[in-house]
Amino acid sequence: MNDELPITIYNEKGKLNSWMPFHYEAERKTRHAVTVQGGAQKSGAATRSWTSEIFIPYQLLKPLFKNVPVSGSRRKGNLYRIDCDQGETLSAWQRNSGNFHEHGKFGIFEFE
């Protein structure tokens, strides 16, 4: 439904930490869009498919990086989706056991 919860959970030398951005506005705000094919874009509607696009600005993540990522830089991470139409359904870009904190199962993001 094009909603978001901008939080970050990260692993620093085996210790899990979490972070929620302050001043979440202007150049620090993510941009996202959802399009639906073959149905209405509303909760519980039958659809053929959907597409989601997300832009995460470096300014938002800056406090988490020791070095500025350059083209070709790689970082581990994952993206999650939580649906609540018919009870809670969890989806992840990279599969895990249902525990969002399994950093060993994260995928690789490559910066352009």
Residue 17 or 1, more confident:
17
Spell out the domain ranges in the chain: 8-110
pLDDT band of residue 72 (cuts 50, 70, 90) is very high
3-state DSSP of the chain: CCCCCCCEEEEECCEEEEECCCCCCHHHCCEEEEEEECCCCCCCCCCCEEEEEEECCHHHHHHHCCCCCCCCCEEEECCEEEECECECEEEECCCCCCCCCCHHHCEEEECC
Percent of the chain beyond pLDDT 90?
7
Write down the pTM of the prediction: 0.64
* Overall average pLDDT of the 33-49 stretch: 88
